[in-house]
Structure 1
């Protein structure tokens, strides 16, 4: 019997069914209440599974219409693995983080695939609000393999993970990044102090060590009016 939380098991099964073609790109999936009945779980559990898939870019919501299978979006390469802390300091702003949740868990299928983890390898998953001069800039869900950070303190990990790893002699490599647009959910809007449905920029990033080993999988939602990306060629 799987040791994963029920919502994670449902997340993994729906993702697998999408990959196998049960639902096509652009197709609306059944309503949460119907899926909850099908999986014999509460609406709250099903909503958590669906929301995780939305945050990963596998599904997307249309207000008043339903939830749909997302299409692949145009990907634009951005170079570098500069930390949020360094970006804010370079702009003369004071960075800070507010931890929403911080716990050990077994990985979801997406986390396992992106971090190239073996079965039953634990991960540390943390949710943070990142601030600049006390203003919320983004909501971030970060997943890292536990074996890489188990000797670091919570403060080191939550304040600046990159700096902590570099101090241990680990060199950072490149990052794979995907940026897309979405609307803020009720939870994210409240955390970032914006209206529900406000425009946010979603960044999904897998960061590597210099030897090519993935060490971080991040899903971040930036307030559109407070942050912008730029590319250097």
Structure 2
């Protein structure tokens, strides 16, 4: 059985990308040019392109054209893994830029999420997280000060999870909530987006193996650079 023409075009463009004809981030020819090259109608060509866009192989940029998509950083929504570990597992180099680092009295929400007593303080830090120098997310993380008092700032801001594990603590599970929203001016500036661009918001409470909460995180991800997937 012969595949539909648009699937044949889809397959050829995918092969061309994999062979390096167009590199990641590179603009491909216009629909008109490609339709002429494949000797098909614009409608058929557009169907092939849309299929590649839906698969995350190509991405459209309004007013600019169609480009070979950058591979998004993925997080599997089962278990718990740090941004550093997720990024490294995909062959990318994780880095962070600390926006603020403050020892303070927790908010009511932070106290509730971390099950803190009235007299306990927290460390609240804001970071921009990068993968291969591309900004992926803006993160506000709150941890009980007592938990990290003996670690220096670099140990905490580079990879909190790794620091905890290297010091004998075992990371357990997490409670996560994901929602969609639009980037504010501040977040857009941090993530090199436009105000109003789509972002993913993750709220997470992380627990040690003994069941005690150790981190409350509010993270905003650039919608075109990060995706979550579920595994049952």
TM-score of the superposition, structure 1-length normalised? 0.66
CA deviation string 1:40-96 (max 9, x = no partner): xxxxxxxxxxxxxxxxxxxxxxxxxxxxxxxxxxxxx93211110111111111100
- Which protein shows a greater Rg? 2
Aligned to 1:79: 78
Distance 2:229 2:77 in 1: 8
Give the CA deviation at 1:120.
Answer: 2.3
Q: For 1:1-233, what aligned pairs fall within 5 Å after superposition? A: 78-233=77-232
CA deviation string 1:182-218 (max 9, x = no partner): 0011110101010001100000000000000000000
Unaligned runs of 5+ in 2: 1-75
Distance 1:81 1:158 in 2: 18
TM-score of the superposition, structure 2-length normalised? 0.67
Distance 1:117 1:184 in 2: 31
Give the CA deviation at 1:229.
Answer: 0.2
The RMSD of aligned alpha carbons is: 1.0
Q: Secondary structure at 1:96's aligned position in 2?
A: strand
Distance 1:213 1:111 in 2: 14
* Residues matched between the structures, number: 157
CA deviation string 1:7-52 (max 9, x = no partner): xxxxxxxxxxxxxxxxxxxxxxxxxxxxxxxxxxxxxxxxxxxxxx
Q: Secondary structure at 2:227's aligned position in 1?
A: coil
